[in-house]
Amino acid sequence: MNSSFLKKFLKLFLDAIYTTTIPSRIYALKLVREARRAKNITDLVNIAYNVRMPLLKQMSIRPLQVPWEIRILLGLLWVLRPKRILEIGTAGGGTLFLFSQVADPNAIIISIDLPGGPFGGGYPEWKIPLYKSFKRYPSQKIFLIRANSHDTKTLNLVKKILGNHKLDFLFI
């Protein structure tokens, strides 16, 4: 069998596994369960960095930031309880998860990511339900915008979502 064919077949097979919502839902339930057990910010950070699905390496939300840096930032956000958060660059979804855990119960959380972006941006569509499940409170709203953050249309969409309100926290 041709190794190129085998690689393509394996990639298609694994993509089919990832794109089914079952592993994503199981992982989301696992994250939510662990987040509810968290007693402090350190616990939340550990969840984001360490909770994974066995055998599914792509099923991770591990943040790109250094753990102690994000822990300090989350400490500040815990006190401030922002109501309107904008994240530019969703990456693996780790900071989106963490921000939703420390935000106000009625927060609007917006994450913009460019599919196929130059910095490795763009998450597959199967991750959308996973990211939307990050709400700590049912009253929180998570908006996922898959577009160029420099585009005027994207800016107008963010303004529409925020209404007449200003951002409390911007993370780039």
pLDDT tens string for the chain (172 positions)?
567 777 777 666 666 655 566 677 788 888 989 999 999 999 999 999 999 876 666 678 999 999 999 999 999 999 999 999 999 999 889 999 999 999 999 999 999 999 887 665 678 887 888 999 999 999 999 999 999 999 999 999 999 999 999 999 999 9
pLDDT score for 106: 99
pLDDT score for 94: 96
CB atoms within 10 A of CB 52: 15
Measured between alpha carbons, how far is 64 from 49 in angstroms, rounded to an integer?
A: 9
pTM over 0.75: yes
**CATH node for 3-171:** 3.40.50
Strands (E), the chain: 84-88, 108-113, 141-146, 169-171
The residues near 142 (Cβ < 8 Å, ≥ 6 apart) are 96, 100, 109, 110, 111, 131, 132, 134, 135
pLDDT score for 3: 73
pLDDT score for 7: 73
